[in-house]
Structure 1
Amino acid sequence: MGEPELPAAGRPQPRRAAADEGRQGGRLRRAARRSAMPLLAAATGALPVLVFPTVGWWWFAYVCLVPLLLVLRAAPTGRRAAKLGWYGGIGFLIGVMSWLIPTLSVFIVILAALLGLFWGPWGWLVWRTLHGRPDAWRALAAVVLVPSGWMVIETIRSWQYLGGPWGLLGASQYQQHPALVLASVGGVWLDSLFIVAVNTAVVVLIGTWGRSFVAYGTLAALVAVTAAVCAWAPQPRLTGATTSIGVVQPGGSANEADRTARGEKLTLGLAPLRPDLVVWGESSLDYDLTTNPGLTGQLAVVSRQVGADLLVNVDAARPGTGPDGGGIYKSSVLVGPNGLTGQRYDKIRLVPFGEYIPLRPVLGWIADFSKAAGVDRRRGKAPVVMTVPEPGGRTLRIGPLICFESAFPDMSRELVRLGAQVVVVQSSTSTFQDTAAPEQHASLAALRAAESGRSVVQATLTGVSVAYGPTGHRIGRMLGTDDRGTTVYTVPLATGTTLYVRWGNWVPTLCCLLVALTALCWSLLAWKRRRDTAATA
């Protein structure tokens, strides 16, 4: 006897079941893609870490943003692209600031998440100009606006209270002559703008299957303009005179007296070389010299025996009350054969969450989980140019910077405008000794030299100590993090001013104005479309 026939509603529906399974599988795949895209954006955002020391793939800078740009342009909506831009920014910051991980541990993720918000609008901008297959006008807008938008990010996060200009893309080119010439024209900012423009043009080529004349034209124009600038840009004029600066790198020590004794012994070893100036690293002394005549007398004796002034660095409490006294300062102090010369520079730009904690009454607990200073350092008021006597009755004018300050292009520029013939950086990266920080920090001196048209000498406690000439090319041997000892750099003196010294931060200023004007125009167009739609409804 056969089975009863099922009604139509109860019969198996293999096609419908397969379709349901297909739709469910599609939803699962889309969900998997949605969850994977943030990780992909963060991973591609971190790729620029490869262009900085210690990896140092400088050439990779010109395509390092291409994967992230492709992720952003493939987003389904502008809002989604903004979110992916935020993830890309997190990856970028964790990558270039990875040397902070041993100090901040998990808090680096929180810091990156906050600063990474600046990449959100940039992600939308990338999608707006590059999604789909951009026509000629959109392609042209992309190669102008995407690099300008990146410059807005670099400008905002370079504010000293947000951490300062570390990891600027242009800084990766510190060994390339064309990039150093560009820096003399527009600072490290012009190098960053050039790099992002090349990355954007490559993405336009990919998005148009290699048929975009705008992208080809942009790449050709970038090369041609760079060549023209390198041939035309005025460079500092070497006077033929030189000065010799001895650098003392004693190595780290928890015992201040031992560190001072080693510094004195190493300095005395420079006596046969007769340098014009001897420079010690940051925080080389833990005592205020105005209240410690014994230590000041020791240094004066060393100065007499070597035949040169000593530029030491003091990290100590200073007596006094009121706005000009009291508290702990980091100071460059010049000591001569007769003791203190009266020339001192107090550090102006302090490291947030390092040398001070913003809103300490609220955020002071961070000191318990990091190596932030237990007591906030006080800020200096103005840059200082010091006068150092040289043989034959001549004088040398030096502009001191302290560690973190060498990351700021405007600080060395201001010292040159005040008459500095040589910029001297006193640094200590001993906290980050086994990370990429010492080499990355030392590389910044090359950019500062090229921008300012003056030699830059960096002296550190534990490395890297280095010197660069007025065009940004390295002079003499570098003292690495494994070195302990001294070296003397004979650096050339130059006159004249670079275009960057004359014009300042014109590149980020123009980029910010361009992005702001574009945002205003787009907002007005969107408002007009909404008004017209409402009028016709």
Structure 2
Amino acid sequence: MHDIDTDGAARVAPAAPFGLAPLAHRVALTAGWTRLALAWLAGACGALAMPPFGLLPALCVALVPAVWLLDGAATASSRLGRRAGTALAAGLIGWAWGFGYLTAGLWWLGAAFLVEADQFAWLMPLGVLGLPAVLGLFYGAGFAAARLVWSPGPGRIPALAFGVGAAEWLRGHLFTGFPWNVLGMALGQNLWLMQAASVVGLYGLTVLAVLACAAPATLADAGGPARRLGPSLAALLVLAGLGIGGALRVPAGPVPEVPGVRLRLVQANIPQDARFNPRNREGILERYLGLSDSATAPDRQGLRDVTHLIWPESSFPFLIQRDPQALRRIGSALPPGTLLVTGAARADEPLPGERLHFYNSILMIGQDGFTGGRYDKLHLVPFGEYLPEPIDSLLRTLGLKQFVAVPGGFTPGEARERPSLSVPGLPPVAPSICYEAIFPGAVASRHAHPGLLLNVTNDGWFGDTPGPRQHFAQARLRAVEEGIPLVRAANTGISAVVDPYGRVTGMLSVGVEGVLDRNLPRNLRETTAYVRFGDVLFIIMLLGCGLTALGARLRRAPSPPRGASV
């Protein structure tokens, strides 16, 4: 097996008594484009561990070759010096690995460029390849950081967990953040395994996933059984412990329900190319009203049995606040005591000399029109809802514009943190719109314990691809982290109600037109450890991995010759 001295030089260790050793040796000795191509393919395999596939062993197939490739990074020479050259080689491996992982996991983004193909199709390569190439830099930095504390043997597994865990956290926070398909989602889809997110959150799951799925790399090592088999056995014990702990945490029966609350979620399944066409305004409104009042069962006779009707993000191809006739039609369709909670674009009346500001909002409508408060989306999608400043004018000069046809783009809400929305008849609501639900620790106020997470979204941009399923899986994990049920209304799916343990009590799949009637599960009385401590426990895990790897490296450092000065 290819092994590495602590100063970064490569040497050949005696062959391990496993068939993996020759393969690991060959992988470690690859170079140039072959090395980058292998890293890309390994990363691409890792996408199979994400929704909708959920193949956890695929992450092993992705991370084990990554360990062996990093073993061989020391063979690189550089004018910068051996250590800097090794870190640079590791960074290139990590970038190629991340590029493959994100390309295979986010290819469905290309569907959005075909909705209005005459305007956006030429930009598809930037979304399908450009975004993964840029985000791959985070993995490059993580692999380089791991290589700086690298050492032969089991110590390199926590080194990789340290580097990749830090990279994923940075990817989720820097430059507005994009924590989509963070590696911890490999554990965040199984009901029992996902329960650990209530303690360590998504990023803590990431550290655990890397430790467990990279561990089999040591099966190819030389040395005794403890060195070769120990990490894999430990990984199996950790996964078994997570599964048993999760099974014990999830109750056998349903959680109690909030009395007097009867929800109806409407999934109109309107194609994206028709959704924002003003000529379809009457047909779209009729479709929503017709579905809303449909009878679904003998005990659900239309809106008479509903307390809260929920429509998805941007339900109207017009500004409902400026259309009194449409507002009256909605109000007249609502029985007494029934409230519509809907996603909608809205506009503020500008002051003299100012432009009109548009917001992506959640509004409440009753029989007498608008009622209660509202929520304006805080975390807008770059290039989807606005062009990032200060380069927006340059981008417009080049012909770039946001996908949503709003003059000047949307304006973010003014709240500094996630507000608690007061909806008559419901416990305090933590609202989110679209991809706001993918951000761990940012979906609910830290100063309150809401009764539900409300997410309205429109994934119609992405058709029947893995995208909507990945989006739902991530929103579902927020319910476990927060200990709060999730109510999610989507235009084309997935609409669902999820209890605070992540159990789906009702769901409308992608591409289905219909309504979902459900009662509202209660939140957990006690806040979860993740709510109380946030990412503190993840940081402790991360530092523990880094110090373990550094300690292993120092133990391998050669002692200075006798009599030599230090």
| TM-score of the pair, normalised by structure 1 | 0.80
1: CA distance, partners of 2:218 / 2:438: 33
What residue identity is the alignment partner of 1:411? A
1:356 to 386, 391, 396: 386
2: CA distance, partners of 1:502 / 1:225: 23
Alignment partner, residue 26 of structure 1: none
Alignment partner, residue 132 of structure 2: 112
Aligned counterparts, 1:103-502, within 5 A:
103=113, 104-108=123-127, 109-127=129-147, 134-135=152-153, 139-140=154-155, 142-159=156-173, 161-208=175-222, 211=225, 212=227, 214-216=230-232, 218-219=234-235, 222-223=238-239, 225-226=241-242, 229-230=245-246, 238-241=255-258, 243-252=261-270, 253=274, 254=277, 255-269=280-294, 272=301, 274-304=305-335, 307-321=337-351, 326-359=356-389, 360-364=392-396, 368=400, 371=403, 373=405, 375-382=408-415, 383-390=418-425, 395-414=426-445, 417-476=447-506, 478-494=507-523, 495-502=525-532
Contact kept? 2:46, 2:61, Cα under 8 Å: no
Contact kept? 1:320, 1:326, Cα under 8 Å: yes
CA shift digits 1:239-260 (9 cap, x unpaired): 4545332111112233233222
CA displacement at 1:281 relative to structure 2:
0.7
Sort the Cα spacing of 1:319 and 1:245 in 2 relative to 1 into closer, same or farther, 3 A: same
Sort the Cα spacing of 1:175 and 1:83 in 2 relative to 1 into closer, same or farther, 3 A: closer
What residue identity is the alignment partner of 1:89? G
1: CA distance, partners of 2:339 / 2:509: 25
Question: Secondary structure at the residue paired with 1:424?
Answer: strand
Alignment partner, residue 3 of structure 1: none
Contact kept? 2:93, 2:140, Cα under 8 Å: yes
Sort the Cα spacing of 1:50 and 1:516 in 2 relative to 1 into closer, same or farther, 3 A: closer
Sort the Cα spacing of 1:160 and 1:295 in 2 relative to 1 into closer, same or farther, 3 A: farther
- RMSD across aligned C-alpha pairs, in angstroms? 3.6
CA shift digits 1:136-191 (9 cap, x unpaired): xxx23x23232122111111111273552101122233441332210111112222
Deviates more, 1:175-184 or 1:464-473: 175-184
Identify, as 1 or 2, the structure richer in helix.
1
CA displacement at 1:324 relative to structure 2:
12
1:94 to 103, 116, 123: 103
Sort the Cα spacing of 1:53 and 1:200 in 2 relative to 1 into closer, same or farther, 3 A: closer
Gaps of 5+ in 1: 1-29
2: CA distance, partners of 1:92 / 1:312: 35
Alignment partner, residue 20 of structure 1: none
2: CA distance, partners of 1:198 / 1:182: 14
Sort the Cα spacing of 1:32 and 1:151 in 2 relative to 1 into closer, same or farther, 3 A: closer
1: CA distance, partners of 2:467 / 2:222: 40
Deviates more, 1:92-101 or 1:505-514: 505-514
What residue identity is the alignment partner of 2:451? Q
Sort the Cα spacing of 1:207 and 1:317 in 2 relative to 1 into closer, same or farther, 3 A: farther
Alignment partner, residue 5 of structure 2: none
Sort the Cα spacing of 1:60 and 1:343 in 2 relative to 1 into closer, same or farther, 3 A: same
CA displacement at 1:405 relative to structure 2:
0.5
Sort the Cα spacing of 1:434 and 1:204 in 2 relative to 1 into closer, same or farther, 3 A: same
Sort the Cα spacing of 1:355 and 1:505 in 2 relative to 1 into closer, same or farther, 3 A: same
Sort the Cα spacing of 1:310 and 1:107 in 2 relative to 1 into closer, same or farther, 3 A: same
Alignment partner, residue 61 of structure 1: 59
Sort the Cα spacing of 1:275 and 1:67 in 2 relative to 1 into closer, same or farther, 3 A: farther
What residue identity is the alignment partner of 2:427? L
What residue identity is the alignment partner of 2:63? L
What residue identity is the alignment partner of 1:410? G
1: CA distance, partners of 2:233 / 2:510: 45
Structure number with greater Rg is 1
Question: Secondary structure at the residue paired with 2:414?
Answer: coil
Contact kept? 1:406, 1:412, Cα under 8 Å: yes
2: CA distance, partners of 1:518 / 1:356: 43
Contact kept? 1:453, 1:497, Cα under 8 Å: yes
Aligned counterparts, 1:42-81, within 5 A:
42-75=40-73, 76-77=75-76, 78=86, 79-81=88-90
Question: Secondary structure at the residue paired with 1:443?
Answer: helix
What residue identity is the alignment partner of 2:235? L
CA displacement at 1:458 relative to structure 2:
1.0
CA shift digits 1:283-341 (9 cap, x unpaired): 10244444333222222222226x42101111243323399994110000011222211
CA displacement at 1:522 relative to structure 2:
12
CA displacement at 1:233 relative to structure 2:
6.5
What residue identity is the alignment partner of 1:183? A
| TM-score of the pair, normalised by structure 2 | 0.77
What residue identity is the alignment partner of 2:522? L
Question: Secondary structure at the residue paired with 1:396?
Answer: coil
Contact kept? 2:479, 2:486, Cα under 8 Å: yes
1: CA distance, partners of 2:145 / 2:174: 26
CA displacement at 1:226 relative to structure 2:
2.7
1: CA distance, partners of 2:268 / 2:460: 12
Sort the Cα spacing of 1:209 and 1:278 in 2 relative to 1 into closer, same or farther, 3 A: farther
CA shift digits 1:53-76 (9 cap, x unpaired): 233324533543222332232332
Question: Secondary structure at the residue paired with 2:363?
Answer: strand
CA shift digits 1:188-208 (9 cap, x unpaired): 222211110012221123334
Contact kept? 2:433, 2:455, Cα under 8 Å: yes
Contact kept? 1:449, 1:455, Cα under 8 Å: yes
Sort the Cα spacing of 1:272 and 1:264 in 2 relative to 1 into closer, same or farther, 3 A: same
2: CA distance, partners of 1:524 / 1:197: 20
